[in-house]
Structure 1
Amino acid sequence: MATIASAYAKDDLWPYPLPFGFEGGASTEADALVSVSGDGVDLNVIWRQVSEAITAWNAERSSITALLAFSTANTADAIPQSSSSDSFEVATEWGEPESLRAPTEHLLLGYSFEDYDRAIRSSWKFMRAATAEQIRAQFNYGLEADNRLVNGTLLQALFSNTPDVNEWNHTVYPLYNGDNYVPPDYLGKSFTAPHNHYLVSEGAVVDSGDIETLLKTVTEHGFNEPGAQLILLCNPEEGEVISTFKAGVENQNNQIAHHDFIPSAGSPAWLTPENIVGKVAPAEFNGLKVSGSYGPLWVIETDYVPAKYAAVVSTYGKNSPNNAIGFREHVQPVYRGLRVIPGPVPAYPITESFLSRSFGVGVRRRGQAAVMQVKAAGDYEVPEIPK
């Protein structure tokens, strides 16, 4: 039986001049089917390792995000802005008691939402020559970039005093920023508008009065109740100054400290002529290194916070619904977390793949944190957080 090709002359199949050496066939890069790395590791094995690493990465969200935020798929939430509780009243012989009810000082707070992605591409020649460790390094770099994006976006929401609007036209509020919103009363204390949690130190160097002002700004709204932990987030530059504060001793800007800075359990050994009364701060809190404590505050130094800025935040623990910031993800679970997506060549997805993250943030309780810029004078300036 004759083949189809034999029914036609060669010139009928390809009427143009043939390149020299065409008799042996022309191969493209896709035909090169590189299946192992330069050190002999199967590329599909590396791909499975990458997928498993992404799964583990999503299971352990970054420490800062988990400590300050609460995961949600909602575009906005109606959140009570006060933690005050109701009280009993004196009983009478004939009257009926007034009903208890949940707090009514709710505010509809929106969350932003964006899609982010980056590609990882490698030529077949790179795959042929690279070691498995070099290939994994590309994905490790992607994990680090994702960590910076999530942490930076969350802290930007904390340190920014500018409101925004999401795609559902819900307002994405900052902390109290001096707008016309009146904070709810707490234990008989009333507040007025404008009320501001974005402060300026009025000094070129941080002092104990600045930290105590931040602390009072948060606790006066009731966010130091049992179950909450007050933390101070600052740059190591400010942390070095704060570590010198001693109760009753004058520090920067002629301020007298009300508390001692006490190194944490993870600090190097030190000598002191005085006894420590009370519990020492732990070495770590939810994976974040604690340098010490100042009064009720646990001091956490991080380079994510720019120099000349500090924040006091009340946290209720990892991913608690009582935390100050909402971390919004897609309503469909398949689109949550960091995703790794194969490229257009199914047999070799590692040669081209995509990293995708979809999320947004927004303040949930406007009085639960306070931030300060350390400068001598002027208005508060929003820092640019690396992300």
Structure 2
Amino acid sequence: MTTTRPFTPAHWNTRPLFAYGADSGRGYSSEGDVLVSSTADGLDLNKIWDESASAMTMWNKQRSALASLISYPTTSIADAIPQTIGGDHFEVASEFGEPTGLRAAPDALILGNSFEDYDMASRFSWKFLRSASAEQVRSVINRAMESDNRLVTGSILRRLFDPTEGVNEFAHKVYGLYNGTDGMVPPPYAGQEFLSTNSHYLVSGNSAVDPGDLQDAIEQVRSKGFGINANSRLLVLCHPNEAEVIATFRAGQETNGIESKYDFIPSASAPAFLTSETVVGQVAPGEFAGLEVLGSVGPSWIVPSFYLPTGYIAVVATGGPNAASNPVAFREHTNPAYRGLRLIPGKDQRYPLQDSFFQRSFGTGVRFRGAACVVQITTDATYTAPSWAWS
């Protein structure tokens, strides 16, 4: 699994910016006039503030590998998105007739994207800055970046795993995947018709993941036209606990009473091992877009991550990092100045390091309701969205 590492001193810029430390909380000018220009280990506070701003710029160039594989950046409040891929046909040309024209897709669905503003503050007294080391000050910046990663990744994953419908500030509906209860009928694909009860939130009926769970989820996604061409890849996103069980699947053998159609094949990065069997076909790579690939089962690659909840698996058709065909939209503000994680000076801008704010504005919404399927590993009859203690 790819983890987000804190920025180290090598990442920090050193351009100067004017900043002092002062304590004016009680209005005593005698203490407020005391100049705090460096940390206890001698690093100029002027530099740390500017280094922080530079670090924000670097941070915003990279998004969590997990989040980027299932989401697509946009500034749209809502989009009319066709819910199938392909479906248009050429016809035999006639000498005098006009060909049928392409028109707006009849299965296009108005999909809203939510939007919220988030922030947190860092506050240092001048006495703390006088006694603190540079690493103590920088640790606050690193904690803010780690919190931002959890916020963004967690919000995108919650949208994928939660069928609850919402509305944004312009009253556009914000959907999850097809849930079988809102009356939405998946559009036909390749001659297949679907019912309004068709859901992409399934329950396993068992207390442990079995081959049937994986096969059902794969079939739900592929039957809607996703994950079946060269520009799309099926990923099974799951916690390592579920990945360990999936790694035991063997074609023709039963797991929890369900026979597997496919073998689990370790990826190219698997430790060396002896076997009397022969692998036919291409082995999955050890890494995909910065994420560990444990192996493959049928047409899917198994991607374990501790970010994902235990007791669930998600089959996702991805076009790659930030691809327009990814199932979840990641909405940011139309004004570029309000995108990404921002570092803002506090009310007293003479001393920006003392009282500063970290701010992020974004929202989410599902773009393609059939491009993923989630299975809850439970004996319950109905699906329940996971809780996310870490985010």
TM-score, normalization by structure 2: 0.89
1:57 to 36, 56, 59: 59
CA distance in 2, matches of 1:96, 1:333: 45
- Paired amino acid for 1:72: T
Conserved 8 A contact 1:44-1:348? no
CA positional deviation for 1:95: 5.5
The reply on whether 1:277 has 2:289 as its aligned counterpart is: no
Cα distance change on mapping 1:349 and 1:255 into 2, 3 Å: same
- Paired amino acid for 1:254: G
CA positional deviation for 1:90: 4.3
Cα distance change on mapping 1:97 and 1:346 into 2, 3 Å: closer
CA positional deviation for 1:92: 5.8
CA distance in 1, matches of 2:58, 2:279: 40
CA distance in 1, matches of 2:302, 2:364: 24
CA distance in 1, matches of 2:351, 2:274: 60
CA distance in 2, matches of 1:143, 1:282: 30
1:316 to 307, 315, 319: 319
CA distance in 2, matches of 1:171, 1:88: 35
CA distance in 2, matches of 1:115, 1:29: 36
- Paired amino acid for 2:164: T
CA positional deviation for 1:294: 1.0
- Paired amino acid for 2:291: L
CA distance in 2, matches of 1:75, 1:101: 23
The reply on whether 1:353 has 2:366 as its aligned counterpart is: no
CA positional deviation for 1:380: 0.4
Secondary structure, in 3 states, of the residue corresponding to 1:314? strand
CA positional deviation for 1:102: 5.1
CA distance in 1, matches of 2:268, 2:132: 44
CA distance in 2, matches of 1:215, 1:112: 28
CA positional deviation for 1:275: 2.1
Structure 2 residue aligned with 1:185: 188
Can you give the 5+ residue segments of structure 1 that lack an aligned partner in the other structure? 1-25
- Paired amino acid for 1:153: S
CA distance in 1, matches of 2:307, 2:356: 29
Moved more, 339-348 or 88-97: 88-97
Structure 1 residue aligned with 2:129: 127
Conserved 8 A contact 1:29-1:124? no
The reply on whether 1:363 has 2:374 as its aligned counterpart is: no
Alpha-carbon RMSD across the aligned residues, in angstroms, is: 1.5
Can you give the 5+ residue segments of structure 2 that lack an aligned partner in the other structure? 1-27
CA distance in 1, matches of 2:77, 2:316: 23
Structure 2 residue aligned with 1:42: 44
CA distance in 1, matches of 2:253, 2:383: 29
CA distance in 2, matches of 1:53, 1:290: 29
TM-score, normalization by structure 1: 0.90
Secondary structure, in 3 states, of the residue corresponding to 1:118? strand
Conserved 8 A contact 1:84-1:187? no
Map Cα deviations across residues 258-300 of structure 1 (whole Å, 9 max, x no partner): 1111122222222222222222222221111111111111111
Structure 2 residue aligned with 1:146: 148
Moved more, 30-39 or 94-103: 94-103
Structure 1 residue aligned with 2:376: 373
Structure 1 residue aligned with 2:271: 268
CA positional deviation for 1:304: 1.9
Structure 1 residue aligned with 2:247: 243
- Paired amino acid for 1:281: A
Map Cα deviations across residues 219-266 of structure 1 (whole Å, 9 max, x no partner): 000002220011011111111100111112222x21111111112222
CA positional deviation for 1:94: 6.8
CA distance in 1, matches of 2:161, 2:202: 11
- Paired amino acid for 1:381: T
Secondary structure, in 3 states, of the residue corresponding to 1:32? coil
Cα distance change on mapping 1:29 and 1:312 into 2, 3 Å: farther
The reply on whether 1:338 has 2:341 as its aligned counterpart is: yes
CA distance in 1, matches of 2:31, 2:249: 65
Structure 2 residue aligned with 1:302: 305
User: Number of residue pairs matched?
Assistant: 361
Structure label with greater radius of gyration: 1
Conserved 8 A contact 1:329-1:358? yes
- Paired amino acid for 1:245: F
CA distance in 1, matches of 2:352, 2:143: 18
- Paired amino acid for 2:64: S
Moved more, 305-314 or 286-295: 286-295
- Paired amino acid for 2:243: G
CA distance in 2, matches of 1:33, 1:206: 62
CA positional deviation for 1:97: 4.1
- Paired amino acid for 2:113: Y
Conserved 8 A contact 1:76-1:170? yes
CA distance in 1, matches of 2:112, 2:104: 22
Map Cα deviations across residues 176-225 of structure 1 (whole Å, 9 max, x no partner): 01121111111111112122110000111100110010000000000022
Structure 1 residue aligned with 2:8: none
CA positional deviation for 1:384: 1.4
2:220 to 217, 220, 238: 217
Moved more, 107-116 or 43-52: 43-52
The reply on whether 1:99 has 2:94 as its aligned counterpart is: no
Secondary structure, in 3 states, of the residue corresponding to 2:353? helix
Cα distance change on mapping 1:29 and 1:116 into 2, 3 Å: farther
Conserved 8 A contact 1:82-1:103? no
Secondary structure, in 3 states, of the residue corresponding to 1:103? coil
Moved more, 162-171 or 372-381: 372-381
Structure 2 residue aligned with 1:114: 116
Secondary structure, in 3 states, of the residue corresponding to 1:349? coil
